[in-house]
Amino acid sequence: MEIALAGNPNVGKSAIFSRLTGVGVISSNYPGTTVEFFEGKAKFMGSTITVIDLPGTYSLAGHTDDERVATNLLFERRPDTVIAVLDTTRLERNLVLLFEIIESGYHVIASLNMYDAMRKSGRDVDVARLERILMIPVIPTVATKGEGMDSLLFTSVQLRGKSKFKVRYDSHIEGMIRKLSGMLRQDDWPMPLRAVSLRLLTGDRRVVEKADPEAVKASETMREEFLKEHGEDIVVHIERDRFGEAGRIASEVVGESRNRKKEGLISDLTLRPATGIPILIAVLASVFLVLVFVGGALEGLLVGAYTDAARDPFDDFKEGLSNDIARGVAEGVYLSVEAMLALVIPYILVFYLMLALLEDSGYLVRVVSLLDGVMHRLGLHGRAVIPIVVGFGCNVPAILATRAMGSKRERLILATLITIAVPCSAQTAIIIGMVGNYAGVTWALSIYIILGAILVLLGFVLHKTIKFEPTGLFVEIPDLRVPAASEILKKTYLRIKEFLTIAFPLLLAGSIVLEILMAENILQQLIGPSEGFMMAVLGLPGITVVALVFGILRKEMALQMLMILFGTSNLALYLAPEQMFTFALVMAVFMPCLAAFAVMLKEFGVKSTALVTAGSITLAMAMGAASNVLLNL
């Protein structure tokens, strides 16, 4: 038996999928695309059930790659049951997709997900009445807490009948549906003829290719006649009728919110440009200041405590070792731990905590809507804000997140901007942990201003160079809410885990190699050829070239290698504020790390990746040279 989870983006499908399937999930790319879908197994009453998590879609028409994959999978595999996952707080918008799924003849169950958020808002849903209207089982669920999952699975397996619910379309459209249905044979189609007729009228490619030419020609004539009579495309009218039906049903089953006025006022303030932009600036300033001052204070406490507790024992241990190589290895281990304490917890952990807070509060989606106009000038739309924000954490998932964009050109522009002008959490640690902490807040803020200018100018140039029309924006605006502390901590833990399991072993191995090279007097011979260039062009000590090279492996290793090379986390002892500024600026723009490079290669091919990489290196060196010249005038 197969069960498919379908729904709009961000309604909690993945959370329900995880609850139903647990581990052993298979991730697959749909043939001919880079869009992923997931399959897993669920055990129920001795039987094994296949569960498919479809990409989020707003319609079965399929406008973006994600939507087309979701629609194709439903069309081709015809699962035994479809669980339509609905965001209860946005019931009206979510019902529109549910109507299409019911019309297509599937066994359907509605999951009223995020039901706890509905209750907290002071509203309630008359579930029994909604079931009577739609003629399908409706189950309230809270996926994050596992509520309703057993009922959902039991009902999915036991469900036998199909809903007889129909959307009430315009009388002219109903007449067209009847006429087209008379020209079709039910035996030729896996779905009701009503659904086939509607898809012919909307020009659905999958149906048009399979239908009898006479029916296709008739549907085209009907569309043209409708446009002449009504002055609008029939697709627009069909969608309007669905939204009208959804609004009528929602008004019948959803109670009034006791907190509506207060919620509406706060929501409006974050969405109107006159108030939303100042609020956004205040939020960004708060994130920046927390990173500088809270991160700096944590770094001082952690490094100080570590030095007091471990420095003397390590020195005593080193003295007992027999040769320079062994002492170098011991020093590398000591400095690796110090570098992680000075970088990961103070800056990266604090940043991820704030990012999770902004995500779970619903504020980030408001930023998407607020900046839609600005993004259009860069050849993108507001949805591009989400991958950009993700990029401040890590460029790898940010590049993958560009798949949500409407075209490959938009994806390439956005991925280029993320790679060159969006500093990941490791680069942020360099900017804040080194420049902000030792050179001052103004120096660090200047780097972010420069990167913002690069993002805008580069986006504008790419938009003019790679001409296309950006796709329109439709995004669900969730209610603002107080995030659950457990969810924030869980999300932060999963993000920081990578640094503890992947970055630390690399750092440890790299620092040991460096210490051995220094102990054997080999490092200076390797640095020598680049020392003249580093000092003449960038105004930096030749030894910093090692940090640049290690930064290609992982960005966080650049700062950590500097700490190990200088033998301290207090880099102000060896670098002037101007040198810190130049180094951080170069590292912020410098070529993507190895993981980001590999993802770019997979997503965009050799040519595009090579151009982006060469462009980032060239721009980084040019800006570093300009910084060196201007700061020394």
Which DSSP letter does residue 537 get? I
Phi, psi of 31 (to 5 degrees): -50, 130
Q: Which of 253, 285, 302 is the last residue of a domain?
A: 253
- Orientation of helix 127-134 relative to helix 234-253, angle to 10°: 140
pLDDT, one tens digit per residue, over 618-631 is 999 999 999 999 98
What is the mean predicted confidence (pLDDT) over 175-195? 90
Please say if the pLDDT value at position 26 is more than 70. Answer: no
- Torsions phi, psi for 607 (to 5 deg): -60, -50
Residue 570 phi, psi dihedral angles, 5° rounding: -90, 85
Asked whether residue 88 falls in the same domain as residue 222, the answer is no
Token pair belonging to 81:
């049951």
Is residue 33 pLDDT above 60, yes or no?
Answer: no
Same domain, 249 and 277: no
Tell me the per-residue pLDDT of 576-585, one tens digit each, with 9 for 90 and over: 999 999 999 9
Q: Residue 256 pLDDT > 70, yes or no?
A: no
| pLDDT above 70: residue 27 | no
- Indicate the residue among 102, 134, 158 that finishes a domain: 158
Do 129 and 177 sit in the same domain of this protein? no
Pairwise CA distance, residues 60 & 66, whole Å? 11
Asked whether residue 165 is domain-assigned, the answer is no
Q: Does 332 lie in the same domain as 474?
A: yes
pLDDT value of residue 102 = 93
Q: Which domain range does residue 245 map to?
A: 171-253
- Looking at residue 369, its pLDDT comes to 73
Question: How far apart, in whole angstroms, are the C-alpha atoms of residue 525 and residue 517?
Answer: 10
CATH (domain of 217): 1.10.287
pLDDT one-digit tens code per residue, 351-389: 778 878 887 787 777 777 777 777 777 777 677 777 787
Tell me if 140 sits within 8 A of 112, measured CB to CB.
yes
Quickly state the pLDDT bin for 294 (edges 50, 70, 90): confident
Rounded Cα distance between 73 and 30, Å, is: 9
Residue 110 pairs with which residues in a beta bridge?
Answer: 84, 138
Look over the chain and give the mean of its residue pLDDT values, rounded to a whole number: 82
Q: What are phi and psi of 43, to 5 degrees?
A: -100, 130
Is the domain of 497 the same as that of 380? yes
Which CATH number is 9's domain given? Answer: 3.40.50.300
- Tell which of 96, 125, 158 closes a domain: 158
- Report percent pLDDT > 70 for the chain: 89
Domain identity same for 422 and 548? yes
Average pLDDT for residues 178-185, to the nearest whole number?
A: 91
Q: Are 419 and 367 members of one domain?
A: yes
Looking at the 3D structure of the chain, how many domains does it have? 3
pTM for the whole structure: 0.58
| Highest averaged pLDDT of the listed ranges 404-413, 452-461, 512-521 | 452-461
SS (H, E, C) 355-415: HHHHHHCCHHHHHHHHCHHHHHCCCCCHHHHHHHHHHHHCHHHHHHHHHHCCCHHHHHHHH
Mean local confidence (pLDDT), 105-119: 89
> Mean per-residue pLDDT for 423-444?
85
Query: Residue 153 falls within a domain, yes or no?
Result: yes
Residue 264 placed within a domain: no
Q: Between helices 408-421 and 594-631, what is the axis angle to 10°? A: 50
Would you say residue 266 lies in a domain? no
Residues 238 and 337 placed together within one structural domain of the fold: no
- Beta carbons within 10 angstroms of residue 139's beta carbon: 23
pLDDT band at 62 (very low <50, low <70, confident <90, very high): low
Where is 138: in which H helix or E strand? strand 138-140
CA-to-CA dists, residue 306 to 300, 309, 332, 506, angstroms: 10, 5, 15, 21
Do 206 and 309 reside in the same domain of the chain? no
Task: Count Cβ neighbours within 10 Å for each residue of 275-308 and write b for 16 or more, e otherwise.
Answer: ebeebbeebeeebbeebbeebbebbeebbeebbe
- CA dist., res. 392 & res. 211, Å (int): 48
595-627 as b/e: b if 16+ CB within 10 A: bbbebbeebbeeebbeebbebbeebbbebbbeb
Identify the three-state secondary structure at position 178: helix
Residue 78 has pLDDT above 90, yes or no: no
- Which sign does the torsion angle of CA 481, 485, 489, 490 carry? negative
Q: Can you tell me the distance from the alpha carbon of 281 to that of 275, in angstroms, rounded to the nearest whole number? A: 10
Buried b (16+ CB within 10 A) or exposed e, 210-227: ebeeebbebbeebbeebe
Q: What string of H, E and C letters represents the secondary structure of 211-266? A: CCHHHHHHHHHHHHHHHHHHCCCHHHHHHHHHHHHHHHHHHHHECCCCCHHHHHHH
Show the CA angle centred on residue 260, arms to residues 257 and 261, nearest 5°. 150
- Whether residue 265 lies inside any domain: the answer is no
Verify that 145 and 185 share a domain, yes or no.
no
Please report the pLDDT score of residue 24 as a whole number.
55
Q: Is the pLDDT of residue 597 over 50?
A: yes
Neighbours of 517 (CB within 10 A): 17
Instruction: State the distance between the two ends of the chain, measured CA to CA, in whole angstroms.
Output: 73
Q: Decide if 374 is inside a domain.
A: yes
The answer to whether residues 587 and 427 touch, using CB atoms and an 8 Å cutoff, is yes
Q: What torsion, rounded to 10 degrees, do the Cα atoms 66, 72, 160, 163 define?
A: 80
Whether 260 is covered by a domain: the verdict is: no
Q: Are residues 489 and 595 in the same domain?
A: yes
Q: What is the pLDDT of residue 218?
A: 93
Predicted pLDDT of residue 470: 47
Q: For residue 206, which amino acid is it?
A: R
Average pLDDT over residues 536-565: 79
Same domain, 568 and 469: yes
Question: What was the pLDDT predicted at 20?
Answer: 84
Instruction: Write out the two tokens for 460.
Output: 């504008």
